[in-house]
Amino acid sequence: MPELTDLEKQSLTEIPHPSLPEGSSLYGGTKVFPDYQAENGESYFTLVHGIAHESSVSFVAILQATRALRKGFESAIYFYGPGSLNCLATRGFPTTGNSAFPGEHNINNSLKTFIEEGGKVYCCRFGLSLHGAREEDLIEGVIPTHPLDVQDALIHYGRKGAIINSTYMF
């Protein structure tokens, strides 16, 4: 431990650390709304326009779509614009598949799980092209789509009466 000044020592001892022991409850656990399950034929459609690792928006959208799938909804995720980068299997450093930091592959692993469990993942080819990403770099099972499919997919799932979760990030 480095040598501390008297003021540094005083600052450290003003408030005890940690203030609560590990495992202490900070929040209540009451769930307010019912744990809805899908009724026959219901769909859940997620649009993602968020860059991987730039915020939690894309990752949380995948987790929500997976939860809907596990509740029995036909669940699909459509990545477009910069969101298309979430679908790349070529993430990693110094080589693909290696995580340069903990959680680097959270999105990849979650998408693989979503697909394995029966979810559909769509990825806009134009979104890929905007960032120099190649179609052959997509995670296995991701369905490449035409740029005009974004609107028509939204119409398709809207007409089915799907619950639509649309995330957007610049």
Domains of the chain by range and CATH? 46-167 (3.40.1260.10)
Q: Is the pLDDT of residue 155 over 90?
A: yes
Question: 32: buried, middle or exposed (CB in 10 Å: 19+, 13-18, 0-12)?
Answer: exposed
Q: How far apart (Å, rounded) are the C-alpha atoms in residues 109 and 91?
A: 11
pLDDT of res. 54: 78
pTM reported for the whole predicted model: 0.84
Cis bond leading into 18, ω under 30°? yes
The mean pLDDT of the chain is 93
Across the range 122-136, mean pLDDT stands at: 94
pLDDT level of residue 58 (50, 70, 90 thresholds): very high
Q: Is the pLDDT of residue 170 over 70?
A: no
